[in-house]
């Protein structure tokens, strides 16, 4: 068989008709077909690369050099570590990039691409690259007397694995964050740092430092203002720590509580303006005020700056997030109220509620990902399910009221959400009915369709007060969640 001269069409393989059991033909395989190994060399002018951070999504890009003919498209082939052959997974790619999110946790994948010319002939394949997804296997569930570990690698059949009982304090769901190596836990008495990367089933406490409040923001793996932890001290003042060495956190400085004591809540970090937001109320009918603190390049906090009065009657605002230039704070378990970061004006028509008296769990930090907001419900009645999903980018509102539309509700009714996390395309939450649920968010992110229940398992011990695991994301509104 004659091969077309590479000077005319570089990287083009001859158009022949060998079967798939022999040497690979120039053939457009369907995604279900397996491509055998063959003896053709890779095209040196087509270079495939891993282009970014690998989580559950593997970002690919490629460059075709020295070709006088521009391909009409590209075909992408993939082989995971349990496969014998590469398989064609995507045809007709009209760009030089592709993000593969149809992956499994903790799995190694190999890839190559082929150009497809207007004649329909496939060019010779590129080099082969490989990547391993980080994924999520273990979910850590805090409770008042310890920490339980659940295995969710097989999402159809998650199960309780073991209990880690060396922790102390009354844990709460505002205060558990995982990064690649550590869990950062504010239990209301102190911040505990537990290493999970060495042995995820036998966590080791590497440090503990005293504070007196709830809530925590951890900035690790960030481009700016990195290795910082923000929390409260025993006087309900705000504190900044240098956590470059997790075993030896160093206090940078504190700033005095500018309002009322106690009940400093609603931490959220603005990664554009580098401001730390919080609100205060004393729970006794006094006003709830929102403040922000400038964060310097060295992590030190400037003095509090008043933003706005949120509630003259002191309604609780334990959870908050920042989105689209506004600070959203939970208001009386019934709604989220938004205040512009610059003007302090309350954003018109952006109350997140589901009348009448639709509650949100007082400590389940909201998750925000791909334009969708995930909130845990604390209503616990027959009309409302456990997790509520809103589409906020683009914002879809009820015409008559301007309130955001509830996109979907997930989970059972008549129970509360007591823990909520996102990992890639997985949503995992726990209920006061003592069940852990795992949902696939792929349909939601792709077309806005309802997420699919993958599996569930009983919670062996009640009183869950939080969920985390690595990797976790959905922290876009918090900007301190160690998503990678």
Per-residue pLDDT of 427-450, as tens digits, reads: 999 888 789 999 999 899 989 999
CA distance 174 to 342: 26
Distances (CA, A) of 346 to 264, 330, 342, 405: 20, 13, 11, 19
> HSE (CB half, 13 Å, CA atoms) of 376?
30
CA distance 183 to 173: 13
pLDDT at 21: 32
For residue 101, the tally of other CB atoms under 10 A from its CB is 16
CATH number of 138-468: 2.130.10.10
Q: Are 329 and 290 contacting, i.e. CB atoms less than 8 angstroms apart? A: yes
Q: Are 444 and 450 contacting, i.e. CB atoms less than 8 angstroms apart? A: yes
Torsion (CA) 185, 104, 112, 14 in degrees, nearest 10: -170
CA distance 276 to 76: 44
For the chain, residues with pLDDT lower than 50 are: 1-10, 12-40, 169-173, 349, 354-363, 481-484
CA distance 190 to 248: 14
Record the tokens describing residue 276, joined without a space.
């730390």
Q: Are 380 and 414 contacting, i.e. CB atoms less than 8 angstroms apart? A: yes
Q: What is the pTM of this model?
A: 0.74
Angle among Cα 446, 451, 453 to the nearest 5 degrees reads 140
For residue 476, the tally of other CB atoms under 10 A from its CB is 19
Record the tokens describing residue 7, joined without a space.
């000077």
**Cis before 2 (ω within 30):** no
Q: Are 392 and 351 contacting, i.e. CB atoms less than 8 angstroms apart? A: no
CA distance 121 to 371: 40
CATH superfamily ID and name for 34-132 = Immunoglobulins (2.60.40.10)
pLDDT at 14: 41
118 three-class SS: coil
pLDDT in tens, 207-219: 988 766 667 889 9
Residue-wise burial string across 218-254, b where 16 or more C-beta atoms lie within 10 A, e elsewhere: bbbebeebebbbbbbbeebbbbbbbbeebeebeebeb
CA distance 317 to 283: 10
Domain limits, the chain? 34-132, 138-468
pLDDT at 316: 53
DSSP H or E run through 427 = strand 426-431
pLDDT at 255: 92
Instruction: Give Cβ neighbours of residue 37 (< 8 Å, ≥ 6 apart).
Output: 85
pLDDT at 432: 82
Distances (CA, A) of 161 to 165, 167, 202, 204, 455: 13, 17, 11, 17, 16
User: Which conformational region is residue 344 in: left (phi greater than 0), alpha (psi within -120 to 50 degrees), or beta?
Assistant: left
CA distance 120 to 116: 6
pLDDT at 87: 95
Q: Are 321 and 333 contacting, i.e. CB atoms less than 8 angstroms apart? A: no
Q: Do domains 34-132 and 138-468 have the same CATH topology?
A: no
CA distance 263 to 283: 7
pLDDT at 49: 94
CA distance 275 to 470: 26
């Amino acid at each position: 068989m004659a091969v077309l001269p590479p000077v005319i069409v570089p990287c083009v393989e001859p158009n022949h008709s060998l079967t798939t059991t022999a040497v690979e033909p120039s053939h457009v395989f369907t995604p279900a077909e397996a491509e055998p190994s063959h003896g053709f060399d890779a095209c040196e002018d087509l270079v495939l690369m891993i282009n970014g951070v690998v989580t559950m999504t593997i970002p690919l890009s490629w460059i075709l050099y020295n070709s006088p003919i521009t391909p009409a498209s590209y075909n992408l082939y993939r082989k995971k570590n349990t496969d014998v052959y590469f398989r064609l997974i995507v045809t007709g790619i009209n760009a030089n990039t592709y993000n593969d999110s149809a992956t499994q946790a903790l799995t190694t994948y190999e890839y190559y691409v082929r150009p497809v010319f207007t004649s329909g002939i496939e060019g010779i394949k590129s080099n082969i690259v490989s990547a391993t997804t980080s994924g999520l296997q273990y979910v850590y569930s805090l409770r008042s007397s310890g920490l339980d570990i659940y295995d969710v690698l097989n999402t159809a059949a998650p199960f309780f694995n073991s209990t880690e009982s060396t922790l102390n304090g009354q844990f709460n769901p505002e205060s558990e964050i995982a990064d690649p190596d550590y869990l950062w836990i504010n239990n209301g008495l102190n911040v505990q740092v537990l290493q999970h990367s060495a042995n995820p089933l036998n966590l080791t406490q590497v440090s503990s430092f005293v504070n007196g409040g709830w809530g925590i923001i951890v900035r690790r793996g960030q481009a700016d203002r990195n290795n910082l932890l923000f929390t409260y001290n025993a006087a309900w003042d705000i504190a900044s720590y240098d956590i470059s060495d997790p075993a030896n956190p160093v206090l940078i400085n504190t700033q005095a509580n500018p309002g009322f004591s106690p009940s400093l809540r609603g931490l959220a970090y603005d990664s554009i303006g580098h401001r730390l937001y919080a609100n205060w109320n004393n729970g006794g009918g006094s006003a709830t005020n929102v403040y922000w603190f400038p964060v310097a390049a060295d992590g030190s906090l400037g003095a509090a700056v008043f933003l706005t009065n949120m509630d003259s009657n002191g309604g609780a605002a334990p959870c908050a997030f920042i989105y689209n230039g506004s600070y959203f704070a939970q208001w009386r378990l019934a709604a989220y109220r938004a205040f512009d970061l610059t003007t302090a004006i309350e954003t018109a028509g952006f109350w997140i509620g589901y009348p009448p008296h639709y509650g949100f769990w007082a400590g389940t930090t909201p998750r925000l990902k791909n334009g969708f907001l995930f909130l845990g419900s604390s209503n616990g009645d027959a009309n409302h399910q456990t997790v509520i999903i809103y589409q906020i980018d683009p914002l879809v509102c009820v015409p008559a009221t301007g309130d955001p539309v509830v996109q979907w509700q997930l989970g059972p009714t008549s129970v509360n959400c007591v823990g909520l996390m996102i990992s890639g395309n997985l949503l995992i939450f726990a209920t006061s009915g003592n069940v852990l649920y795992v949902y696939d968010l792929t349909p939601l992110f792709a077309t806005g369709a309802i997420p699919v229940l993958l599996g569930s398992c009983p919670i062996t011990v009640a009183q869950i007060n939080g969920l985390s695991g690595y990797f976790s994301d959905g922290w876009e509104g918090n900007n301190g969640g160690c998503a990678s």
